[in-house]
């Protein structure tokens, strides 16, 4: 049997509320040890050790905690006695942590993140089964080299592409146009696709993680949006991701502010889209001076993470453009 380390960070999987109910609970309350005790059958599929790194609602996760988590995983995963890592996490920001770790973990050993939509005290809590499958996935030979994955409701997602698409149902995730990496049936793993983008052991960012990352903010465009948000963010951010309309678009007023702030403050802009499906290409109508970098298929919240890593090594726009094409 494989040796799997479970690194717990909190979330609804560790949440408690009124016995049997699914709402009005507090995330990040019970220990990973107690969650594991609720799935005794897991001892038949792996040797398990656990660490309680944090126990928070995932809305409290930030860059500092991401760096602590990534450095802890990089330290643990070097050990010959560990074959894979499972991270338990809240679902609200799981997609951001998954992409952060895709860029920051330096290993081809499996890293699988999971969580739950129902607290541990609910009737039919989904956490124990998700954790059981995540452990099986992290211990599976085929998982090696697949990058950071998220396991949720029998489905294997890539850390780069997963998005929360439902804030209420148990089947809360999707990979948009890319389907999923595969499925699970109990502890059995069935892969059907893989990502072509660089991750984990291929990532230029994972070899040497910094102590802090440059600040990048997100500006959400809507009909009639005041461009003042761009000036506000430019005061203390090195990069701004625009969650634009359509193909990452915005008004002439926004275009003028983007041009001015690019020139006067060397702010690096990325154009993403508030639309969940599609791809943002560079566009000579909405960005005639090529000030912005296209986010490709990354959502604004994921593009923010990549831009922050990119700015930690370069401010050269062409180099950052290439990073967005490859990751
Ligand atoms: C959280 O993200 O920590 C709370 C919500 C959840 O885990 O589903």
Q: Residue 181: what pLDDT?
A: 98
Percent of the chain with pLDDT over 90: 99
Q: 96 CB under 6 A from ligand 1?
A: no
CATH of 216-326, one of 3.40.50.920, 3.40.50.1000, 3.40.50.40, 3.40.630.30: 3.40.50.40
Ligand 1 atom closest to the Cα of residue 57 is 3
Q: 115 CB under 6 A from ligand 1?
A: yes
Q: Residue 316: what pLDDT?
A: 97
Sequence ranges of the chain with CATH classification 3.40.50.1170: 2-202
Residue-wise pLDDT for 109-144, tens only, equals 999 999 999 999 999 999 999 999 999 999 999 999
Tell me how far the alpha carbon of residue 39 lies from the centroid of ligand 1, in angstroms: 20
Residue-wise pLDDT for 138-165, tens only, equals 999 999 999 999 999 999 999 999 999 9
Measuring CA to CA, how many Å separate 191 from each of 108, 154, 254, 275, 287?
A: 17, 12, 44, 28, 40
Q: Residue 176: what pLDDT?
A: 84
Q: Which class would CATH give 2-202?
A: alpha beta
Sequence ranges of the chain with CATH classification 3.40.50.40: 216-326
Tell me how far the alpha carbon of residue 92 lies from the centroid of ligand 1, in angstroms: 5
Tell me how far the alpha carbon of residue 135 lies from the centroid of ligand 1, in angstroms: 20
Percent of the chain with pLDDT over 70: 100
In the structure encoding, which two tokens stand for residue 17, read together?
Answer: 């509320």
Q: 17 CB under 6 A from ligand 1?
A: no
Q: Is the pLDDT of residue 280 over 90?
A: yes
Ligand 1 atom closest to the Cα of residue 94 is 2
Q: 117 CB under 6 A from ligand 1?
A: yes
The pTM of the full predicted model, rounded to 2 decimals, is 0.98
Q: Are the beta carbons of 313 and 213 closer than 8 angstroms?
A: no
**Over residues 248-275, mean pLDDT:** 98
- 3-state secondary structure labels for all residues of the chain: CEEEEEEEEECHHHCECCCECCCCCECCCCCHHHHHHCCHHHHHCEEEEEEEEEEECHHHCCHHHHHHHHHHHHHHHCCCCCCEEEEECCCCCHHHHHHHHHHHCCCCCCEEEECCCCCCCECCCCHHHHHHHHHHHHCCHHHCCCCEEEEECCEEEECCCCEECCCCCCCCEECHHHCCCEEEECCEEEECCCCCCCCHHHCCCCCCCCCCCCCEEEEECCCCCCCHHHHHHHCCCCEEEEEEECCCECCHHHHHHHHHHHHHHCCEEEEEECCCCCCECCCCCCCCCCCEEECECCCHHHHHHHHHHHHCCCCCHHHHHHHHHHC
* Residues annotated as catalytic (active site), given as ranges: 12
Q: What is the mean pLDDT of the chain?
A: 97
Tell me how far the alpha carbon of residue 56 lies from the centroid of ligand 1, in angstroms: 9
């Amino acid at each position: 049997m494989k040796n799997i380390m479970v690194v717990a960070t909190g979330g609804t999987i560790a949440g408690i509320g009124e016995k049997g109910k699914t709402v009005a609970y507090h995330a990040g309350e019970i220990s990973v040890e107690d969650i594991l005790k609720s799935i005794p059958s897991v001892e038949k599929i792996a040797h398990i050790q656990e660490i309680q790194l944090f126990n928070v609602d995932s809305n409290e996760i930030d860059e500092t905690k991401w760096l602590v988590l990534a450095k802890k995983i990089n330290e643990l995963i070097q050990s010959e006695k560990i074959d894979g890592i499972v991270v338990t996490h809240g679902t609200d920001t799981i997609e951001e942590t998954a992409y952060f770790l895709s860029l920051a973990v330096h290993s081809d050993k499996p890293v699988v993140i999971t969580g739950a939509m129902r607290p541990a005290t609910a009737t039919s809590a989904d956490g124990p089964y998700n954790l059981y499958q995540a452990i099986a996935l992290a211990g599976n030979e085929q998982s090696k080299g697949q990058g950071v994955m998220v396991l949720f409701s029998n489905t294997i997602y890539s850390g780069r592409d997963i998005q929360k698409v439902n804030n209420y149902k148990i089947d809360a995730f999707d990979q948009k146009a890319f389907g999923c990496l595969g499925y699970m049936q109990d502890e059995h793993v069935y892969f059907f696709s893989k990502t072509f983008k660089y991750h984990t052991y291929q990532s230029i960012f994972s070899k040497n993680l910094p102590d802090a990352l440059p600040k990048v903010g997100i500006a959400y465009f809507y009909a009639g949006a005041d461009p003042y948000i761009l000036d506000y963010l430019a005061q203390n951010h090195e990069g701004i991701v625009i969650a634009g309309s359509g193909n990452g678009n915005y008004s002439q007023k926004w275009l003028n502010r983007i041009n001015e702030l690019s020139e006067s403050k060397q702010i690096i802009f990325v154009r993403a889209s508030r639309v969940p499906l599609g791809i943002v290409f560079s566009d000579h109508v909405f960005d005639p001076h090529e000030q912005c970098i296209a986010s490709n298929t990354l959502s604004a919240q994921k593009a923010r993470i990549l831009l922050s890593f990119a700015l930690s090594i370069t401010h050269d726009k062409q180099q950052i453009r290439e990073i967005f094409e490859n990751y």
